[in-house]
Amino acid sequence: MHRLMSLSKYRPYVGVEYDPPHGCFRLVAKVFKGVYGIDLGKQDEGLENAQNKDRTARIQQKLVEMTEQVEEPQEGDVVIIRGRPFHIGLIIAPNMMLHAYNGGTSCIEDYEDVRWRNRVEGFYRYKNDK
């Protein structure tokens, strides 16, 4: 019961339409602001006409600057997924991530599932000193 109550704060962010071109980042930014009161800013602003790899590199760099890599993920950490395209999700419970993907709506999935586990690049925790 306690786990279900803690997950209810994420309910408004499930089933949200993908917001191109960086819907996964935009979803994580909305949750950070709405749930944690942390404004990640608009790291993708002004990049609409940039090449996909340039947009991805800028967002990845900003995420690295705002976070520190951790071995054991906790609720509120970001998971970075390798591959094309770059992808991120938000850890909301053990082994569970909230994420959005192009052509779909946001959902909760197990990042240890066969679809994701070999693509997890790492887990990153927001630095409170920013």
Mark residue 23 as left, alpha or beta (left: phi above 0; alpha: psi -120 to 50; beta: remaining).
alpha
Buried-exposed string 21-36: b where 16+ CB fall within 10 A, e elsewhere: bbbbbbbbbbbbeebe
The pLDDT score that the predictor gives to residue 52 is 59
Q: How far apart are CA 77 and CA 126, in angstroms?
A: 7
SS3 17: strand
pLDDT digits (tens, 9 = 90+) for 55-90: 667 777 777 788 999 999 999 999 988 876 678 899
The pLDDT score that the predictor gives to residue 85 is 62
pLDDT higher than 90, residue 101: no
pLDDT higher than 50, residue 2: no
CB 73 within 8 A of CB 112: no
